Amino acid sequence: MAGPSEATQLMRSLDFVFSTALVLIWAITGAAWSAVVAGGDATPLPWDSSTDVRIGDIGGGTLVADQGAQLAAGRAEVGYGPAATGSATVAGAGSLWTVDGTLLLGDDGTGSLRIEAGGRVSSAAGWIADGASAVGEAIVTGSGSRWDVAGTLEVGNRGSGRLTISHGALVTVGGQLMIDEASSRIDSYVDMAAGGMLAIAGYADSRSIVEFLYLVGGTDAIRYWDAVAGTWAPITDATFGADYSIDYFDAGELAGYSLLTVGTVPEPAAVMLAGLGVVAAATRFRGGRCRAVRRAPGRSGGGSPPAR
């Protein structure tokens, strides 16, 4: 049996915790710890549904899951402490991260999640920018990319949060979507463009953005990319049929959900969307392989150009 990796040995020598109870990916003395989870790696990361994960606990931390990696966690916090910066990326078809509890982006620090190129994330709940000093961001982009939230998704509780959905990506919310629920700053948004899709449990008339917004709590701050003005604009200013569409599903995987699509759905996302009405799917993802590496400070994922 191969011994622990050099990074793991160093972590243990500094009295870090790296176990099935709690995984900390953080920075100390200016060095950022990262976990790269790839389908071809040989060292299994000890994560399962009982594992609580902090990516960026007191400093910087990065998680990258790609190449068909499958990863599980009980609860995941990205950007935990006030000075922490954490980022997580799930990329590529077959790359899956299941969080049985809450996925939190920015507890008191800065946390970001990027789901792209067909990657998928599933969580029981989602919080983006929970604490007063928190900054949180989630970007879901590309055909087949998805974030499925079984319960409530909060975008900007007391901090500044942003969720961007574009290029045929899909976000589903089984509970209620809350935007700036407790914040007095009113600086959190859900931005949608280029065929981005948002499905929320509940009924909304197919021609009424007002009814769809009844399913959203807080500020209702959903925006679309206004190409003429070259800026984000309130979805209530958009034109039905030209800028957005609304569909309610009474069968299939999205039965009981209302779906808001902003812009033209690019292929092959249009095929996926058509299939949602007739195909039921329930998949559970577990396991995962990883190697721990040490990276230079300041190298983390993220970034969100206006219309991506």
User: Would 305 be classed as within a structural domain?
Assistant: no
Supply the pTM of this predicted model: 0.81
Which residue type does 24 have? L
Q: Are the CB atoms for 136 and 162 separated by under 8 Å?
A: yes
For residue 306, is it within any domain?
A: no
Flag whether 121 is in a domain.
Answer: yes
Specify if 99 maps to a domain. yes
In which element (H, E) is residue 274 found? helix 269-276
pLDDT one-digit tens code per residue, 44-98? 466 778 888 888 888 788 888 888 888 889 999 999 888 889 999 999 999 999 9
> Based on the structure, what is the number of domains in the chain?
1
Q: Which phi-psi region, left, alpha or beta, contains residue 83 (left: φ > 0; alpha: ψ -120 to 50)?
A: alpha
Predicted confidence at residue 186, as pLDDT, reads 83
Paired tokens of 32 = 């950022």
Beta partners for residue 244, in sequence order: 240, 262
Domain that holds residue 219: 22-295
Q: Is residue 308 part of a domain?
A: no
- Which of 1-5, 227-231, 254-258, 278-282 is most confident? 254-258
Domain assignment present for residue 302? The answer is: no
**Is residue 228 a part of any domain in this protein?**
yes
Say what the pLDDT of residue 60 is. 84
Distances (CA, A) of 193 to 92, 220, 224, 283: 20, 17, 6, 27
Between CA 44 and CA 133 the distance in angstroms is 35
139: enclosing H helix or E strand: strand 135-141
CB 59 within 8 A of CB 28: yes
The rounded mean pLDDT for the chain is 78
Helix, strand, or coil here: 10? helix
Higher pLDDT, 105 or 32: 105
Q: For residue range 128-176, what is the model confidence (pLDDT) as tens digits?
A: 999 889 999 999 999 999 999 999 999 998 899 999 999 999 999 999 9
DSSP 12: H
* pLDDT above 70 (res 15): no
- Looking at the domain assignment, is residue 275 inside a domain? yes
**Residues 307 and 193 sit within 8 Å (Cβ to Cβ):** yes
DSSP codes joined into one string, 70-103: EEEESEEEES-STT-EEEEEEESTT-EEEEEEEE
Cα 204–chain centre separation: 24
Q: Which residue has the tokens 């700036």?
A: 180
